[in-house]
Chain A
């Protein structure tokens, strides 16, 4: 194949991959602005008179979306905040200390992060039932901490380990305390790491369905539950479902892409570093 032909083939394949990726998302957003009769038309309609009625329907009425959004923000936000705060301290401690059995501690942390959700739900369900944590936002925060905390510790450890200890040592020679060196030197230098960790924790918990479905009740249900509740015995309100989908998905894509440079490191648990 000659140079030009190769290039054309290359871009054609790339275009195919882009279409496969983007068509469902575009179709979701488009459909969220469709009237019911535009949704069921014989041939799919890319052009139609847009309406906000699906969104209006979601935010008004007996089961308004507002409460679900609040629950989502609370559960995901609090667990993220706790995980990142504790993760910074513990990650730093882990990166800067050498002790016997450190490998075992690391292994324990990573296997906690990777434990299958279905297997975690079982004991938590029984414990939550005993402690009256079912149907509460607190319960969800605890559930999300089971994966966010080990994740935050592990990733912050990776980000701190990349920082040469010499900087903190220099500060300590100048009279800074150990904590001062961490607080004023190490922590500000890992800001991108902290932001990335926070965003990934937020995405993981915001997107959770399995835990919320098992542990939440009318007082604590999150957005993914609101979406699943649109599937009823009598039928599915696809227009509203696509509207919820848009509400759930767009903010996460926005924050996720905002830290694209550090995503590789975050998502490979520090094993691979990006550009």
Chain B
């Protein structure tokens, strides 16, 4: 029963995997079919020395820490609030989860609409309050902030969902006992709730981390890396290298370095599953 699916998966994953490795040692041109010209380690040495790629990794790093950090913080906070809520909890959760199902490209387009200097609701509000009076996506700092917040809008719900599941599975008697013993909310949070949900929080962090480097739709449709490379995360750089500058071999090397990151995170994920006895 396992075999047909695994064979198909092998065709879908192993073949492209070896193909991209092969690409990374060649200069690949798309003129008249697909042509390879062996260049050895050239793409790889370029990868280490290229200042553009390095700056993209830095942007990716900032983007990653900002999005995942904010999502974790807000997600945990909102889950804790929701956990204490009695009235309207179900409805509130359903509403809070909605952004997760919105196509990332629509999140980007909607974000663009909201911060557009002529049409945008948020741009109007920020302009009126005097906070931001310039073109939001046209300036480095505000553009990066905007794309970070679009991602936060879309994916914080995932963290809320996961953490809330962890909170709901806590045994109530433990909390009651601590309450009776006179522990205040923050003491209970630190000494009882935190250890009980730490496993779930780590799962949320890892799942989010893997996806954070996977998707690039929001940036592609809003700033496409601009202004002045302020939002040029590594997948955008890869795409541009491959399809605008036609350097597919070099792009392959960049792709493999991204893959290394997600394999590392997947490895951690497997370890967590095992530790919690969840691996099957």
Contact = CB atoms under 8 A, between A and B. Distances in A.
Interface of A: 10-11, 13-14, 17-18, 20-25, 27-28, 31, 39-40, 43-44, 86-87, 89-90, 92-95, 97, 103, 105-112, 114-127, 129-130, 142, 145-146, 149-150, 153, 157-158, 161, 182, 203, 206-210, 213-214, 223-224, 227-228, 231, 238, 241-242, 244-245, 248-249, 252-253, 256-257, 260, 263-264, 267-275
A124 B121 CA distance: 40
A15 to B, nearest CB: 9
Contacts of A127: 15-16, 19
B248 interface: yes
Residues of B contacting A: mostly? helix
B95 A264 contact: no
Nearest to A99: B2
B262 interface: yes
16 contacts: A13-B77, A14-B85, A86-B8, A114-B262, A115-B262, A116-B261, A122-B252, A146-B12, A208-B103, A209-B220, A227-B106, A228-B105, A238-B113, A249-B102, A263-B161, A272-B203
Nearest to B99: A21
B278 A129 contact: no
B210 A271 contact: no
Interface string B218-251: 0011000000000000110011001100001001
Given A110-B270, A256-B97, A270 B278 contact: yes
Given A107-B267, A119-B255, 11 more contacts: A89-B2, A124-B16, A206-B103, A210-B220, A213-B220, A245-B110, A252-B103, A264-B165, A267-B158, A269-B207, A270-B278
A209 B104 contact: yes
B34 A130 contact: yes
B255 A114 contact: no
Nearest to B264: A111
A172 to B, nearest CB: 15
Contacts of A224: 103, 105-106
Interface string B258-280: 11011101110110110010111
Interface residues of B, number: 101
B130 interface: no
Contact of B113 (A10, A117, A242, A253): A242
Interface string B77-97: 110011011000000111111
B126 interface: no
A149 B5 contact: yes
Nearest to A28: B110
A108 B13 contact: yes
Nearest to A11: B85
A260 B4 contact: no
Nearest to A244: B106
B27 interface: no
B55 to A, nearest CB: 17
Contacts of B92: 14, 18
A116 B161 contact: no
A40 B119 contact: yes
B157 A209 contact: no
A72 to B, nearest CB: 10
- When A and B form their complex, which 4 residue pairs have the shortest distance between CB atoms, in order from nearest? A93-B2, A119-B255, A90-B5, A207-B103
Nearest to A86: B5
Given A224-B106, A264-B162, A112 B121 contact: no
B54 interface: no
A267 B101 contact: no
A121 B6 CA distance: 21
Contacts of B261: 116
A100 to B, nearest CB: 14
B113 A31 contact: yes
A210 B1 contact: no
B103 A17 contact: no
